[in-house]
Structure 1
Amino acid sequence: MASNLVSYIAQMLTPDMIARIAAALGLDSSKVQGAVAAAVPAVLAGLTGVASQPGGAQKIADTAKQQGGSLDNLMGMLAGGDQTSLAQSGSQIISSLFGAKDGSALANAIGGASGIDQRASGSLLATLAPLVMGGLARQSGGDLSANGIAGLLASQKDNIAAALPAGVREMLGGTGLLGSLGSLGASAQSAAASATQAANQAARSATASAAAASATSQRAAAAAAPASSRNWLYWVIAALVLAGLLFYLFGRPGEKVVPQAAAPEQVTPQAATPEPNLTVGGIDVGQQVRDGLASLQTTLAGVTDAASATAALPKLEDVSTGLDKVTGVAGQLSAEQKAALGALVTPMMSTLNGLFDKVLAIPGVSDILKPTIDGLKTKLAALSA
């Protein structure tokens, strides 16, 4: 059984396969790559929801039996350019398992997350459906029973949820297709909340115990000192204080005791110069850049292999689109605003370039992300200039 079903299916779809699909749809390969990264976990998430319904697992198992033995043929059809037959088979699968309403919702969510229109996303979904079912069958370990398929999908919930883009999750949230994944997320949140509560309680208990121990030690030390010693010590301290006061008042000839001057009024430090307003043409350029830089760091840090690179591509393209908007209005910025914008970008360039190089050195990642990363480097260098 595959350790990660999403990765297994994504790895079948090589850059050459993606290019063929893109050519058939008349789209840019990078957009199709992003759409595939959204479509594979979205279909698997939908199958997980179907499997949780009465009779759903059996329907999936029956469909998988039809596709599993011919997976090599399906891949051959895609490689050979016979996508029409593949898409026709996929349309029947989508209709049978999800119905027209949920099938349309899947296509809309995939298109919305990747920026392609509904017609193209529907065709892509139909093309990928037989391959997803074939991969599911191949990784079932030979158990194509309803229980076997349900068990496989249940074991992959975490991987599916992790690969599902946030935009797809939001768009499918009201359909019921993600009900099974949603319950898993709620359980995880509950467990995390319980753990946090327990940790806080432990910290409070430790603090209370330490305070009690300190108080006990002080009382014990006080009790250990003889009463007569304590009384003698009080008299000595009082005499020393009185002697010091008398010397201060009368023991310094030539000096007058003057009332202490009032403390000078505290001067409030001057506030730092505020950052210039970077809103131009209705676009908050500064916030757009900050959000983009933060998203870049988070997304790049999560890329560890080809599958995670495929999942990261739509997010990197979103950042690139945001930078395009900034570049489009940069000519309207004043010299002061341009300097402030450069001050936002320049300190981050070293970190980001290191992340770019690290990601592109991972086997299989460069073919997926290099065009997008090269574009990001160019745009960021222009903004930091």
Structure 2
Amino acid sequence: MAINLPSLVSQLITPDLINRIAAAVGIDPALAQKLVNAAIPAVLGAFASEASNPDGAKSISDLISNQDPNMLDNLISGLKSGNAGALASGAGVLSSLLGNEGLGQLSSVLGQATGASQQAASSVLGLVGPAVVGAISNQSPENWQDGAAVANLFEGEKKAIASALPASLAAALNDSGFLQGFESAVSGAFKTTTSTLGSAAGAATSTLNPQPVPPRVQPTPSAPPPAQPSGGSMTWLYLVIAIVIVAGIAWYIWHKRQEAAPAPASSGQIETPVSPTSLG
């Protein structure tokens, strides 16, 4: 049954520890966090690679069986007291399994993948290595008491380890030979991650370079209908028309009366009366 070793190891390395190792190494806490996040699955991947062959699995079983149960606690106490040399002793846990050359190569790959120096990566491995051993030793002995138990343990942890590995780091570790016997699990996770990143990149490209959208054709506005006079305007119109009609009729009647009236006598003519004498 898988126990998710990446998660268990992460729980042992608290944010306070990360800040302390950052101060001891002289790097930014954010970079220290990045290194730890990458180092945990990297070390577990190296252990899983060793566990894929009988001799390597037995070496891991012996390492855990012979390790001081208080090793991680002593290392943490040393860091809290400002003893950066405690990290060197922690790195010895990994060198006993991978050899000095293997430890140096793992530090180099880890540093290149995270943008940190090889020295900083080596110091972080000095904390992560004992944390991995401590997390395994905290499990039931049936998970690590012999080579077969260790092989079964890491066989069940391959998926969790592969999922925790950043894609670029997984490829670098695979190229360096740290994931021998572990390639199928890592390549599957790497393909999934690559596909996800590719989809995201495609979406981003589509967003940054959208297809041209034809301009929207606006309908030609029709001529507005003539304004209809309001009810009040119509009333005034009718009233004016009526006044005009009445005025016209009145003028017509007055004009006819003037034509029918007799013309007055001219002021320049005097009518002479006829006398009776002139008639006789």
By the TM > 0.5 criterion, same fold? Answer: yes
TM-superposed CA distance for 1:122, in Å, is: 1.4
Listed as ranges, the matches of 1:10-159 within 5 Å are 10-67=10-67, 69-70=69-70, 71-85=72-86, 87-141=87-141, 143-159=144-160
Task: Give the C-alpha shift of residue 141 in structure 1.
Answer: 4.3
Are the counterparts in 2 of residues 9 and 135 from structure 1 also a CA contact under 8 Å?
Answer: yes
Cα distance in 2 for residues equivalent to 1:186 and 1:124: 26
Quote the Cα distance in structure 2 between the aligned partners of 1:96 and 1:58. Answer: 13
Post-superposition offset of 1:163: 0.3
Task: Answer 1 or 2: which has greater helix percent.
Answer: 1
Q: 1:39/1:140 Cα in 2 relative to 1: closer, same or farther (>3 Å)? A: farther
Larger Rg: 2
What's 1:170 paired with?
171
Note if contact 2:2-2:157 (Cα within 8 Å) is conserved in structure 1.
Answer: no
- Gaps of at least 5 residues in structure 1 are 190-289, 295-339, 345-385
CA distance in 1, matches of 2:31, 2:23: 12
Give the alignment's TM-score, normalised by structure 2. Answer: 0.62
Partner Cα separation in structure 2 for residue 46 and residue 154 of structure 1: 13
CA distance in 2, matches of 1:188, 1:168: 12
**Is contact 2:39-2:125 (8 Å) kept?**
yes
Q: Distance in 2 between matches of 1:148 and 1:57?
A: 8
After TM superposition, the structure 1 stretch with the greater mean CA deviation from structure 2, 94-103 or 40-49, is: 94-103
SS at match of 1:178: coil
Q: Distance in 1 between matches of 2:92 and 2:186?
A: 31
CA distance in 2 between counterparts of 1:109 and 1:188 reads 19
Shift of 1:132: 1.4
CA offsets, 1:84-127, max 9 Å, x none? 12x23233222221123322221122112221111111121123
Partner Cα distance (1:68, 1:83) in 2: 19
Question: Judging changes above 3 Å, is the alpha-carbon distance between structure 1 residues 166 and 16 closer, same or farther for their aligned structure 2 residues?
Answer: same
What is the distance in 1 between the residues matched to 2:83 and 2:184? 40
Deviation at 1:185, TM superposition (A): 5.0
Letter in 2 for 1:91: A
Paired residues of 1:109 and 1:167 also in contact (CA < 8 A): no
Give the corresponding residue for 2:183. Answer: 182
| Contact persistence 2:173–2:179 (CA under 8 A) | yes
Question: For the Cα contact (< 8 Å) 2:49–2:181, is it kept in 1?
Answer: yes
Give the whole-Å Cα distance in 2 for the aligned partners of 1:12 and 1:18. 11
For these two proteins, the number of residue pairs brought into alignment is: 198
Distance 1:186 1:118, change over 3 A: closer
Amino acid of the residue matched to residue 88 of structure 1? A
- Write out aligned runs for 1:234-383 (5 A): 291=201
Name the CA distance, whole Å, in 2 between partners of 1:170 and 1:106.
13
Q: CA deviation at 1:75?
A: 3.5
Q: Using the alignment, how far apart are the partners of 1:69 and 1:292 within structure 2?
A: 50
Determine the C-alpha separation between the residues in 2 that align with 1:51 and 1:39. 18
Distance 1:172 1:32, change over 3 A: same
List aligned pairs for 1:174-213, cutoff 5 A.
Answer: 174-185=175-186
Q: Can you list the C-alpha shifts for 1:244-271, whole angstroms capped at 9, x where unaligned?
A: xxxxxxxxxxxxxxxxxxxxxxxxxxxx
Check if 1:9 corresponds to 2:18. no
Over 3 Å counting, the alpha-carbon distance change for 1:126 and 1:152 in structure 2 is same
CA RMSD across the alignment: 3.0
Per-residue deviation, 1:72: 3.5
Cα distance, 1:15–1:293 mapped onto 2, change above 3 Å: farther
- Equivalent residue letter for 2:60: I
Residue pair 1:60, 1:97 contacting (<8 A) in 2 also: yes
